Amino acid sequence: MLRDITLGQYYPAESVLHSLDPRVKLFSTLVFIITLFSANNVILFGFVLITLVGIIKMSHVPFSFMVKGLRSIVMLLIIAGLFNLFLTPGRELVSFWIFSISDVGLKNAVLMTSRMILLIIGTSIMTLTTTPNQLTDGLEKSLGFMKRFGVPVHEISMMMSIALRFIPILIEETDKIMKAQMARGADFESGGLIKKAKNMVPLLVPLFVSAFRRANDLSFAMEARCYNGGEGRTKMRPLTYSSLDQRAYICIGIFIVVFYAAKVIL
Amino acid sequence: MSIIKSKNLVHEYIRRDEEGNVESIQVALDHVNLNVEPGQFISILGHNGSGKSTFAKHINALLTPSEGTLIVDGMNTSDDEFTFAVRQTAGMVFQNPDNQIIASVVDEDVAFGPENIGVPTQEILKRVEKSLKMVGMYKYKNHSPNKLSGGQKQRVAIAGVMAMEPKCIILDEPTAMLDPDGRKDVLQAVHTLNKEKGITVILITHYMEEVVDSDYVFVMEKGKVFMEGKPREIFKDVELLKAHSLDVPQVTQLAYELRQAGVPLPECVLTREELIDELKAAKASGFTPNLSSLVEMEAENNHFTGSGNSDTSKENVLILDHVSYKYSPNTAYEVKALDDVSLSIKEGEFIGVIGHTGSGKSTLVQHLNGLIKSTDGVIYYRGQDIYDKDYDIKELRTQVGIVFQYPEHQLFETTVFKDVQFGPKNQGLDEKEQIKRAYEALGLVGLPEEFYLASPFELSGGQKRRAAIAGVIAMKPAVIILDEPTAGLDPKGRDDILGMITEMHRKRGDTVILVSHSMEDVANYVDRIIVMDAGKPAFDGTPKQVFAHYKELEKMGLAAPQVTYVMNDLKNEGMNVDASATTVEAAKASILKAFN
B261-272 pLDDT tens trace: 888 888 888 888
Q: Give how far Cα B450 sits from Cα of B417, B438, B442, Å.
A: 11, 14, 11
Beta strands (DSSP E) in chain A are 92-96, 99-102
Residues 67 through 86 of chain A touching chain B, CB cutoff 8 Å: none
Q: What type of residue is A260?
A: Y
Helix (H) or strand (E) holding A199: helix A193-199
Nearest beta carbon to residue A179 from set B112, B371, B471: B371
Nearest Cα of chain A lies from the Cα of B306 at a distance, in angstroms, of 34
Does residue A154 sit at the B interface (CB-CB below 8 Å)?
Answer: no
pLDDT at A4 over 50: no
Please, is B111 exposed, middle or buried when counting C-beta atoms within 10 Å of its C-beta (0-12, 13-18, 19+)? buried
Q: Which residue of A has its CA nearest to B169?
A: A224
Among B104, B144, B171, the strongest candidate for a mutation testing the A interface, having the largest count of A CBs within 10 A, is B104
Question: Is residue A7 over pLDDT 50?
Answer: no
**Rounded average pLDDT over B354-372:** 89
Please say if the pLDDT value at position B303 is more than 50: no
In single-letter form, the type of residue at position B208 comes to: M
pLDDT at position A198: 86
The pLDDT, as a whole number, for residue A84 is: 83
Does A226 reach chain B within 8 Å, measured CB to CB?
Answer: yes
pLDDT score recorded for residue B292: 60
With b for 16 or more beta-carbon neighbours within 10 A and e for fewer, the B456-465 pattern comes to beebeebbbb
Contacting residues of B for A236, CB less than 8 Å apart: 107-108, 111, 114-115, 121, 124-125, 128
- Among B381, B376, B374, which Cα is nearest to B481's? B381
Q: Is A232 on the interface with B (CB under 8 A)?
A: yes
How large is the ipTM? 0.87
The mean per-residue pLDDT over the stretch A90-116 comes to 81
Q: Report the phi/psi class of residue A45: left, alpha or beta, with left for phi > 0 and alpha for psi in -120 to 50.
A: alpha
| Beta bridge pairs of residue B90 | B168
Radius of gyration of chain B (CA): 26
Which of A194, A22, A50, A16 minimizes the C-alpha distance to A118? Answer: A50
* Number of residues that make up chain A: 266
Given pLDDT bands bounded at 50, 70 and 90, which one contains residue B305? Answer: very low
* Region B322-332 average pLDDT: 81
Residue ranges of alpha helices (H) inside B202-249 are: 231-234, 238-243
DSSP string over B525-538: H-SEEEEEETTEEE
Residue of A nearest to B127 (CA): A236
How does pLDDT run across A147-165, given as a tens digit for each residue? 888 888 888 888 888 888 8
State which residue of chain A sits closest to B365, comparing Cα positions: A183
The answer to whether A177 and B412 have CB atoms below 8 angstroms apart is no
Are B404 and A176 an interchain contact pair (Cβ–Cβ within 8 Å)? yes
Distance between CA B532 and CA B336 in Å, rounded? 13
Please give the Cα distance from B8 to B94 (Å, whole number). 25
**Residue B156 in this model has a pLDDT that exceeds 60:** yes
Structural domains in chain B, CATH included, are 4-243 (3.40.50.300), 250-287+581-594 (no CATH), 316-560 (3.40.50.300)
Cα separation of B382 and B120, whole Å? 68
Least Cα distance to B231 among B256, B204, B266, B268 occurs for B268
Neighbours of B414 (CB within 10 A): 13
**Segment B367-417, tens digit of pLDDT:** 998 888 999 999 999 989 999 888 888 889 889 999 999 999 999 999 999
Check if the beta carbon of residue B264 is closer than 8 Å to that of residue B257: no
Gyration radius from chain A CA atoms: 23
Q: Which of the residue ranges B161-170, B193-202, B518-527 would you say has the lowest mean pLDDT?
A: B518-527
DSSP B138: G
Please list the alpha-helical segments (H only) found in B285-383. Answer: 291-306, 361-367
Whether residue A69 has pLDDT greater than 80: no
| Average pLDDT for A222-231 | 89
Q: Can you tell me the distance from the alpha carbon of B205 to that of B485, in angstroms, rounded to the nearest whole number? A: 18
When pLDDT is cut at 50, 70 and 90, the band that residue B291 belongs to is low
A247–chain B Cβ distance below 8 A for any pair: no
Q: DSSP character for B324?
A: E
Q: B101: Cβ–Cβ under 8 A, 6 or more apart, which residues?
A: A165, B109, B145, B153, B156, B157, B160
Sheet holding B316-327, edge to edge: B335-346, B316-327, B376-381, B384-385
How high is the pLDDT of residue A34? 93
pLDDT of A207 over the 90 cut = yes
With H, G, I as helix, E, B as strand and everything else as coil, classify residue A96: strand
| A183 and B369 Cβ atoms separated by less than 8 Å | yes
Nearest residue to B27 (alpha-carbon basis) of B57, B54, B63, B64? B54
For helices B491-508 and B461-473, angle between their N-to-C axes, nearest 10 degrees: 20
Cα–Cα distance between B269 and B251 in angstroms, integer? Answer: 7
